[in-house]
Amino acid sequence: MEKLFPEYPFPLQTLENGLWLIIALPLLGAFINGVFGKALSRKSVHWVACASVGGSFLLSLLVIWALGSASAFVPNPFSSDTARYALSADYGTWFSAGGFKVNFGLLADRLSASMLLVITGVGFLIHLYSTSYMEHDKGYAKYFCFLNLFVAMMLTLVLADSLVLLFVGWEGVGLCSYLLIGFWYDDNAKAWAGRKAFITNRIGDFGFLVASFLLVLLVAAAVKEAPQGTPATSYRFSVGLHEKGPLAFQSLSALATTLVAQDSSLEPSENVPPLFIHRHIETGPLKGYSYAGVMTVVLLFFLLGAAGKSAQLPLYVWLPDAMAGPTPVSALIHAATMVTAGVYLFCRISYLVVLSPFAMATIAVVGCLTALIAALIAFAQDDIKKILAYSTVSQLGFMFMGIGCGLFWAAFLHVVTHAFFKACMFLGAGSVMHGNGDETNIKRLGGLRKEMPWTAWTFLIGTLAITGIVPLSGFFSKDAILFGLETQQLADVHVLHTLYYLGLVAAACTAFYMVRLYVLTFEGQRSPLAKLPHAHESAWPMTLPLGVLAVLSIVAILHGFPYLLPAPNASPNQTLMEFYLTPVFGLANRIGFHAQTLLGNGLDKASWESLLWTGWLKAWLIALASGGISAFLYLKLWRGERKFPAILEPLRRFAQNKFFVDELYELLFIERAKGLAKGLYRYIDAFLVDRVAVHGTAQTVGFVGKVLCWFQNGNVQAYASAIALALAVGLTYALLQVLS
């Protein structure tokens, strides 16, 4: 593949120094449109917005070109490793305190560069699309300001070279998503949806933060306790810590290497080889826990974080509601880029993920259940955007399954292909809405193929791609994940094989509801309930992106094709994507490959590289059959009254109401929290603390004062009588004493 392009001809140093421009351009665009937007004409607004993202796209192309060159490598400041095919830049300290430090450091390796292309490429197309879609909107400049800001934040997320900087992008995209979901804020429901998204994301961010803090502790413990000769004990590591802080990814990769080092101080036992990771921590706040245990907890907290951002169980509920935003936003943020951040995170820290088979299994299980549940809900939805939203949730579930079985490249390939075909379909849905008076109910559409041919054909390509029909990109990406589930082994935890069958069911469901969506919208007769008598095809700024994305949905299959690689150093049936990402996932693979011998549990190398056609074929046939049945049912090829079987009606209702998950959460958590807050306020704060304690003290003081007042009322007669009384009592007492 390197042979296809000439070597990058310009000095790499210049490109490294200019990496920040990729982020700064959209940021500048957001600034111009945000501050001066009202004074600018619409034309200038979208020129600024599109040009800034387009500029970033060109720079990203340069980056990916440069990453083909072997002279692009980054020495790891923490160990003797180098990251091959990577560029990095460090723009100084962000903040430091005590032993902690974070830099403004950027890292572009092949993983982040691929994401860069997706973000800026798809992002540019969606900006272009938006110029037409948002044409008549009053908040034109505001919209493009937010959209540019989003792109900048997403680019920060993928270019960050430390977890903290990644978190900037992580929260930043959540923020933009909040702003864009609630873009039409005068509709209360839409504004609520934005808030729901942000708070659900924040629950995930809580997990992210806790995981990061635990990692800091883990690094500190490893520095103190690791066996001699491992990276963490080297002088270089301490220099690295001083320069870049413990949460730089390079530090974490050195940590991973340290954790799988042989540890002679441990007793060798039969099923647990003497690795440092199995030792118990002796110093610091984590004293008593084992490194492996803490790592599992860290990954589970990251899973919570990723579940928030990538809409997995139990935090997926915000994504369907997020469809309240403008449709291009749904395409860019809630399908192509932001929601894949969780997958990206796990890919970024793949070398940590493989350290804990238990966490991997959990990731896979969560992904699988999400894929299945979302697919089932999608069956019964009638809103075109809602169906696509649930399908996104479901596809993200597939990506998590990929992470869970250690096929990071496959999960990431699915991120890329999904970005193409799902963005294509979302934009298609937007085009449908645009041409049909904002109608979103597919039962009130129909027969659009003749009126909107561009939209229909591109949507069909998207549908076929997500279903996994052969010459389209969804085939290899999804089926590679299923294949991984079938063949991989997490030795201690035997779940993957079960998940494989559930995954097949989810794939079948996907095919069914996607074909249903396509057929009901574009085939058959126009529904009599349609808002407009005739639909109209959208203008070129909308159809052009559709076309480009449809082409990409087809072409992207090349990345997944095995037996394609002429390079001499590649394994015979590696896919292009796998080979391309080898420098990124190399460490994870090494740890995973040696798992059998090193960790005593982990991934099986033997099956890792042998792709079996039968496995691919099985998944493909199932999807094809399911899609076929759906087409048969909804195309009305079969004459006669189509009636939904009465027995299944309650089930359909149940699915239509999204299994009442929202209501359940409302009842279990939100109402509880509100009740708790009200109760605490009323009984503890207002009554116990303020009324009883504070005012009580004041009143007691007042009361005592009043009582004492009575003793000094200034009345001489009263004083005299008191004296007399006291005298009398005293005398009586004395008398009694004397007498007895």
Partner 1 sequence: MNASSTLLNYVVFLPMAFALLLLLLPGNEKGQIRFATLLGMLVNLVTGIWAFAAFKPGGPEFQLEYRLSWLSDLGISYHLGVDGLAVALVLLTAVLGPLVVLSSWRFVEERVKEFHVCLLILQTAMMGALCSLDVMLFYIFFEAMLIPMYFLIGVFGSEERQKAALKFFLYTLVGSLLMLLALLWVFFLSGPEGTRSFDYAALYNSLMDANREVSLCMQNNAHCSNLSATAAALLQWGPWMFGAFALAFAIKVPMFPVHTWLPDAHVQAPVAGSMVLAGVLLKMGTFGFWRYAMPLFPAQAWAYQNVLVALSLIGIVYGALMCLAQKDIKKLIAYSSVSHMGFCMLGMLTFQAEGTMGAAYQMLNHGVSTGALFLLFGMLYERRHLRNMADYGGIAKAMPIFTVFFIIITFSSIAVPGTNGFVGEFLVLLGTFKSNLPMWAGILATTGVIFGAAYMLWVVQRVFFGPVTQQANASLKDINFREFVTALPLVLLVFFMGLRPQPILEVLSPSVERYVARVHQARPNPEAKTLSPQREKEALWMHVSALPPPQPLHVQQVDDSQPLLANNQPGERP
Residues forming the site for partner 1 (CB under 8 A): 93-100, 164, 167-168, 171-172, 175, 178, 182, 185-188, 191-192, 195, 198-199, 202-203, 205-206, 209-210, 213-214, 216-217, 220, 242, 283-286, 673-674, 676-678, 680-682, 684-685, 689-690, 693-694, 698
Nearer to partner 1, 657 or 697 (CB): 697
Nearer to partner 1, 494 or 672 (CB): 672
**b/e burial code for range 288-320 (CB count within 10 A of at least 16 → b):** ebebbbbbbbbbbbbbbbbbbbbbbbbbbbbbb
Cis amide prior to 528 (ω within 30 degrees): no
Nearer to partner 1, 164 or 481 (CB): 164
* DSSP E strands, 295-383: none
Least Cβ distance, residue 226 to partner 1 (angstroms): 18
Residue 381, Cβ neighbours under 10 Å: how many? 23
Least Cβ distance, residue 450 to partner 1 (angstroms): 39
Nearer to partner 1, 170 or 579 (CB): 170
Least Cβ distance, residue 677 to partner 1 (angstroms): 4
Residue 692, Cβ neighbours under 10 Å: how many? 11
Least Cβ distance, residue 678 to partner 1 (angstroms): 5
Least Cβ distance, residue 625 to partner 1 (angstroms): 44
75's enclosing H/E stretch is: strand 73-75
**What is the dihedral angle through the alpha carbons of 372, 307, 325, 43, rounded to the nearest 10 degrees?**
-120
Nearer to partner 1, 294 or 482 (CB): 294
Nearer to partner 1, 203 or 631 (CB): 203
Nearer to partner 1, 648 or 684 (CB): 684
Write phi, then psi, for 500 (nearest 5 degrees): -55, -45
Least Cβ distance, residue 440 to partner 1 (angstroms): 22
Nearer to partner 1, 153 or 261 (CB): 153
Query: In the chain, what's the furthest Cα-to-Cα distance?
Result: 126
Least Cβ distance, residue 230 to partner 1 (angstroms): 22
The one-letter code for the residue type at 371 is A
Nearer to partner 1, 22 or 413 (CB): 22
499: CB partners within 8 A, 6+ apart: 364, 365, 368, 401, 404, 485
- Label residue 260 left, alpha or beta by phi (over 0 means left) and psi (-120 to 50 means alpha): alpha
Least Cβ distance, residue 337 to partner 1 (angstroms): 18
Alpha-carbon span 394 to 367, nearest angstrom:
8
Least Cβ distance, residue 191 to partner 1 (angstroms): 4
Q: How far apart are the first and last CA of the chain?
A: 121
Nearest to 197 by CA among 281, 308, 72, 53: 308
Write phi, then psi, for 82 (nearest 5 degrees): -130, 145
CA angle 502, 503, 509 (to 5 degrees): 90
Nearer to partner 1, 668 or 728 (CB): 668
Least Cβ distance, residue 102 to partner 1 (angstroms): 9
